[in-house]
Amino acid sequence: MSANPIVRLYKVADAYIIEFAKTLRGLFITDQAAFVARDLSFASPYENTWLAAIDAAEAQPSDQGVEAELTQLTADVDAQMELCRNTFQDAKPFIKKAFPDMPGRWNQFGFADYDRVRKNQAFMIQFMDDLHAAAVRYAPELNAANFTPAMVAELETRKSALDTANDAQEQFKKMMLNATEQRVIALNTMYGFCTTVCETGKLVMRNSYAGYQRYLLPASDEAPNVMALLGRVTTMDMPPNPAVGIEGVTVTIVQLGLDTTTDSNGNYGFGPIPAGTYNLRFSKAGFMGNDVAGVVVVGPESPVTVNATLMPMP
């Protein structure tokens, strides 16, 4: 029985959570004395241990990089498969010429099997091996039909090249699973510092709505019951393509001069703020702004959801 896969403990993108951790650590260092006054475990070298976790997470190969490498290896296999197919097709006329009207002999060269194996790399490796063996066995007859020893050797070359490319791809797939697991472990370790600091930060800053805001997790990961106002900012829904969350939108509560930014899923949230009626401003370079007036906020006990759509600049 295989072990359960290790999953990310957060819902935002990897690159986003790394940048979030860096920013949060900077805020923590500014407020570290207040944290230490509450809990000595936050004393130095806590910030250095956290930095080491961030560095370890950042040093891991990204999923995009791993996928790009696998894509290249797959392209290499596909290229070798095509060469094998072409080599067989080029050999067929010579085989027929050497053994006219002998379909039983042709099948020793794989004629009957080709359609079954032509798209499967493992089967194609064995097919090319068998094809080469048959060509060696009947080398004199083939040579008499102008299928030269060099052509026979080419069959072995093509098989070996496909075997090598296939092995590289399969080995990388196995390493990729391990690399992905190690990346997730490193990212989860780093994220653990974020959750611990944010949990305590909310207590340290509970009498300051601006300070409390600094210690919210990304809105996609924060508990809804700590937020008084939350929502999602997206592009316009243009069927058949659904609306997409926009990262990095500044959301401002105008009357308080308090702002936050959307996470990689387009979500945002504000912690406890004074009850009242507010105007919200949504802005990001390259998009037309969007203002929403008359938003009535009570508090986390009755969170208000305000979604918004931003249109790209013409």
According to the model, what pLDDT value does residue 53 have? 97
pLDDT band at 86; cut points 50, 70, 90? very high
pLDDT tens-digit series, residues 278-300: 999 999 999 999 999 999 999 88
Distance of CA 105 to the CA centre of its chain: 51
pLDDT tens-digit series, residues 13-37: 999 999 999 999 999 999 999 999 9
Alpha helix positions (H), 121-249: 121-137, 139-144, 149-204, 209-214
According to the model, what pLDDT value does residue 1 have? 40
Residue showing tokens 């697991």: 181
Report how far residue 273's alpha carbon sits from residue 268's, in angstroms, rounded to the nearest whole number: 15
Tokens of 134: 């048959």
Among 28, 13, 4, 68, smallest CA distance to 187 is for 13
Q: Following DSSP, what letter does each residue of 142-163 receive, concatenated?
A: HHHTT--HHHHHHHHHHHHHHH
Domain definitions of the chain by residue range: 1-204, 221-314
Contact call for residues 203 and 28 (beta carbons, < 8 A): no
Any idea what DSSP says for residue 206?
T
Fold of 221-314: Immunoglobulin-like (2.60.40)
Any idea what DSSP says for residue 241?
B
What Å distances lie between residue 242 and 49, 234, 235, 267, CA to CA? 42, 10, 9, 16
Among 158, 132, 153, 156, smallest CA distance to 77 is for 158
Distance of CA 280 to the CA centre of its chain: 33
pLDDT tens-digit series, residues 174-203: 877 788 888 999 999 999 999 999 999 999
Helix (H) / strand (E) containing 15: helix 14-38
Residue showing tokens 């080398």: 139
According to the model, what pLDDT value does residue 2 have? 46
Report how far residue 199's alpha carbon sits from residue 202's, in angstroms, rounded to the nearest whole number: 6
pLDDT tens-digit series, residues 52-76: 999 999 998 877 777 888 899 999 9
* Least confident stretch, 4-13, 268-277, 281-290: 4-13
Among 273, 305, 274, 275, smallest CA distance to 292 is for 305
Contact call for residues 208 and 284 (beta carbons, < 8 A): no
Among 90, 106, 85, smallest CA distance to 146 is for 90
Report how far residue 258's alpha carbon sits from residue 34's, in angstroms, rounded to the nearest whole number: 22
Report strand pairing: 229-234 vs 304-305.
parallel
Answering whether pTM is above 0.85, one says no
